[in-house]
Structures are given as C-alpha cells and as structure tokens.
Amino acid sequence: MEPLHPNFRLVDWKEVRERLTTRLEGLDASEEIGTPGKLYIQARELTRTISEVIKDCIPKVGLLPYKKQWSPLLTAKCTELNKLSCRVYNRRMEPGDLMGH
C-alpha cells in the first residue's frame, strides 16, 4: 500500500494560518538565544509545531486516480527505437560494422 502524502492543493489556508498563529504564539520563544543548545531546542519546537499543524490541517492522499499514458506516437517511436537497438546489438560482431568496433 502506498503511503499517504499531504495534498497542499486541497487546503483551507485561512484555517491553517489561524491554527499556526495560535500554536506559534504558545511557543516559549525569547528575543535572544544565549547558547547553541537553546537555539537547537527552539528550532526543534518550531519544526515540531509546523509539522503538527500540517498533520492536522492538510488532507492526505495516496496515488493519483488516473494513470498517465503515452501518446500513440510516442509508443510507436519507442517501439521503433527498441527494434533499431536490437538490430545494432545483433550486428555488433559482424566484420565491417563500424558501431561494434
């Protein structure tokens, strides 16, 4: 089974902004960060908060409901290329064949 992925096209962005604003206001963020450890902690909390809002607000989807197919012209060209490739490969050991030497 394919894992589900967020579909950002189906989002109510107003709701996402409101929820994210509320969650970010609740973070304990200071104006000055005194140590690298505090910077790491605040960055981790910010990332966790954004990830949780995405998980809660963004709908999940699996595979697309349609399959992309080649055009008939592209299919014919692919078949032609495969046939030519086989011919070149089969002639690789013939004397006078410039492609195999």
pLDDT of residue 6: 84
pLDDT of residue 67: 57
Q: Residue 59, Cβ neighbours under 10 Å: how many?
A: 12
Residue 47: phi, psi to the nearest 5?
-60, -45
| Mean pLDDT in consecutive groups of 10 residues from the start of the chain, 101 residues | 79 93 87 86 93 91 67 89 89 70 50
26: which 2 tokens?
């609740």
18: which 2 tokens?
């409101």
Mean of the per-residue pLDDT values for the chain? 84
pLDDT of residue 82: 93
Tell me how far CA of residue 41 lies from CA of 20, 22, 33, 53, 70, in angstroms.
19, 20, 10, 18, 49
Amino acid at 39: L
pLDDT of residue 83: 94
Collapse the DSSP code of 50 into the 3-class scheme (helix H, G, I; strand E, B; otherwise coil) and give the result: helix
Q: What is the DSSP letter of 4?
A: P
pLDDT of residue 75: 87
d(CA 25, CA 49): 11
pTM comes to: 0.56
Strands (E), 48-93: 60-61
